[in-house]
Amino acid sequence: MILVFGRTGQVATELQRLGDVTALGRDQADLADPGACAEAIRTRQPRVVINAAAYTAVDRAEDEEPLATTINGASPAAMARACAAIGTPLVHISTDYVFDGSGTRPWSPDDPTRPINAYGRSKLAGETGIRAAGGSHAILRTSWVFSAHGNNFVKTMLRLGKDCDRLSIVADQVGGPTSAAAIARVCLTVAEALCLHPDRTGTYHLSGGPDVSWADFARAVFARTGRTPEVADIPSSAYPTPAARPHNSRLDNTALTRAFNLGRPDWQADLDEVLRDLDRL
Ligand SMILES: NC(=O)c1ccc[n+]([C@@H]2O[C@H](COP(=O)([O-])OP(=O)(O)OC[C@H]3O[C@@H](n4cnc5c(N)ncnc54)[C@H](OP(=O)(O)O)[C@@H]3O)[C@@H](O)[C@H]2O)c1
């Protein structure tokens, strides 16, 4: 059995569409309770575990760091210890926000981490706890997730684009938009590979290519829809948020390609697919 933590989120939804998985919602395993997460693994004895649940409210985390740290740090660590105890591999999703966003070079998995907000610190705590558990695992750091489900930048742009002729969008943050479906596909492939090759344990980067600014990503969304509001580039300083965001979110995917023979997802093709999905909904 492939056990997935998370049921309603973007990646969890795609995992259920793509794979034969058992997905646990908050009612069955609350990540605010690390013991309950470990117990869910002990009682089910899965072949592999994928953690697609997380505290993802980046701005709210500034006011709720202890809760975010339990959900994103202590619970993944408890899952990893429970997995290690029964020899089950764990695939865990992390984030570009573990980096400080300096420079313009794509981050490699072994570059030094230095989160600049509470959410990033909480996700880094999860990574550290998983490695400390000593079991077979893959930590997949991804960025800028979008899908037809849940809340994300693409859906926000489609909503705002209906009523506005002009939008000001941040242009000094650059990264790789990544579809939840692409993440789910990689999670399932990596999970199967880890069952056969536990020595491929490690931290990997997975982001859609090519890298782009939020403003250019918005233009790509509008270019595919009937309405094309004018998009004006603005700096992050003109759009203050409670949590600081990294400017450079470029992720180097080479390690993932080498270990699992997986190419970098093409976010433009995946965006077309998500827009088709939204039409069908
Ligand atoms: N979204 C992004 O742009 C982004 C970027 C980089 C990395 N990531 C990482 O990618 C992964 C998947 O993100 P996503 O975009 O799919 O997230 P999402 O759509 O925000 O979904 C988060 C999921 O976590 C669940 N969850 C939250 N708190 C929980 C709790 N206490 N107990 C049990 N479940 C809980 C939610 O359940 P409810 O529906 O019950 O709240 C939801 O199913 C996460 O690890 C995230 O950190 C995301």
Sketch out the chain's domains with CATH numbers: 2-152+177-209+249-280 (3.40.50.720)
Which residues have any ligand 1 atom within 6 Å of their CB?
A: 6-12, 26, 30-32, 52-56, 71, 93, 95, 123, 142-145, 150, 180
Each residue's pLDDT tens digit in the chain (281 positions)? 999 999 999 999 999 999 899 999 999 999 999 999 999 999 999 999 999 999 999 999 999 999 999 999 999 999 999 999 999 999 999 999 999 999 999 999 999 999 999 999 999 999 999 999 999 999 999 999 999 999 999 999 999 998 889 999 999 999 999 999 999 999 999 999 999 999 999 999 999 999 999 999 999 999 998 778 999 999 999 999 999 999 999 999 999 999 999 999 999 999 999 999 998 76
Before 210, cis peptide (omega within 30)? Answer: yes
Q: Rounded to whole angstroms, how far apart are CA atoms 224 and 268? A: 10
Cα 77 from Cα 210, distance rounded (Å): 33
Structure tokens at 71: 């959900």
Q: Whose CA is nearest to atom 30 of ligand 1?
A: 31
Specify the DSSP class assigned to residue 30.
Answer: -
Look up residue 174 and give its two tokens. 């650059």
Q: Cα of 263 to ligand 1 centre, how many Å?
A: 24
Residue carrying the six token digits 């049921």 = 7
Please answer whether residues 11 and 50 qualify as being in contact, where contact means their C-beta atoms are separated by less than 8 angstroms. no
217 vs 208: CA distance, rounded Å:
12
Closest atom of ligand 1 to 123 CA is 47
Ligand 1 centroid–CA 11 distance in Å is 8
Residue minimizing CA distance to atom 39 of ligand 1: 8
pLDDT for the residue numbered 158: 93
Task: Give the 3-state secondary structure of residue 141.
Answer: strand
- Token pair listed for 64: 């709720």
**CA–CA gap between residue 169 and residue 208 (Å, rounded):** 20
User: 54 C-alpha vs ligand 1 centroid, how far in Å?
Assistant: 4
Active site residue 119: yes
DSSP code of 263?
A: P
Residue nearest atom 18 of ligand 1, based on CA coordinates: 9
